[in-house]
Amino acid sequence: MFIEPYSDRKKGWVEVIAGSMFSGKTEELIRRLKRVQIAGRKTEIFKPSIDVRYHETDIVSHDSSRLISTPVDNPYNILLLATGVEVVGIDEAQFFDDGIIDVVEKLARSGTRVIVAGLDMDYQGKPFGSMPELLARAEFITKLHAICARCGDPANYSHRIPKIEDKVLLGEKDVYEPRCRACFYK
């Protein structure tokens, strides 16, 4: 009898939700994870421990939807904490170092569905952290847009209001506003 290799193995894949600030990335991540939980799948949700804007542990969208998550300093901790999990959610992936790429790949190859959300560009309009590599490796990509705070067109950029040049500056509407291409470069 011939048995196909890996025929009993679960199939994993990577989904990336990308966009600017205020585009609904975390909201979409929460929506997908809630559906997975309704389906009875074992899930774990992670976020970088530096993101405490809304809550120390929960991932929280701008519309106040939330899910319990585990903050981690090092992306490799996700591998340790996600043993036996069918679906892993990762929010604010741009804040993790390049190890997140290896972690996501290992999870997907082991049969885990991985849903990653993050900013694809920084406040200067440049690719942000490991997100470009994650986008390249993903089976499914969702690009979300906010509404430009200046003209109302679809916004793809996150304009930083204060003139602070640190790469990472956590903030909300007092620090960032969504802008379309034309308004961003004016």
Residue 110 structural domain: 13-145
Residue 94 lies inside a defined structural domain of this protein: yes
The total of structural domains in the chain comes to 1
Residue 2 lies inside a defined structural domain of this protein: no
Task: Identify the CATH number of the domain in which residue 92 sits.
Answer: 3.40.50.300
For the segment 132-157, the average pLDDT, to the nearest whole number, is 98
**Predicted confidence (pLDDT) at residue 52 exceeds the cutoff of 80:** no
pLDDT higher at 55 or 94: 94
Residue 22 lies inside a defined structural domain of this protein: yes
Residue 167 lies inside a defined structural domain of this protein: no
103 falls in which pLDDT band (50, 70, 90)?
very high
Amino acid identity at 27: E
**Predicted confidence (pLDDT) at residue 57 exceeds the cutoff of 70:** no
% of the chain residues with pLDDT over 90: 74
Query: What is the full DSSP assignment across 40-78?
Result: T--EEEEEETT--SS-SSSEE-TT--EE--EEESSTHHH
Mean pLDDT of the chain: 88
Q: Which residue has the tokens 């990762």?
A: 90
Please list, in sequence order, all residues whose beta carbon lies within 8 angstroms of the beta carbon of residue 117, skipping any fewer than 6 positions away. Answer: 16, 17, 18, 25, 26, 28, 29, 89, 90, 91, 92, 93
For the segment 136-140, the average pLDDT, to the nearest whole number, is 98
Residue 141 lies inside a defined structural domain of this protein: yes
Residue 92 lies inside a defined structural domain of this protein: yes
Tell me which residues are annotated as active site.
92
Residue 150 lies inside a defined structural domain of this protein: no
Residue 140 lies inside a defined structural domain of this protein: yes
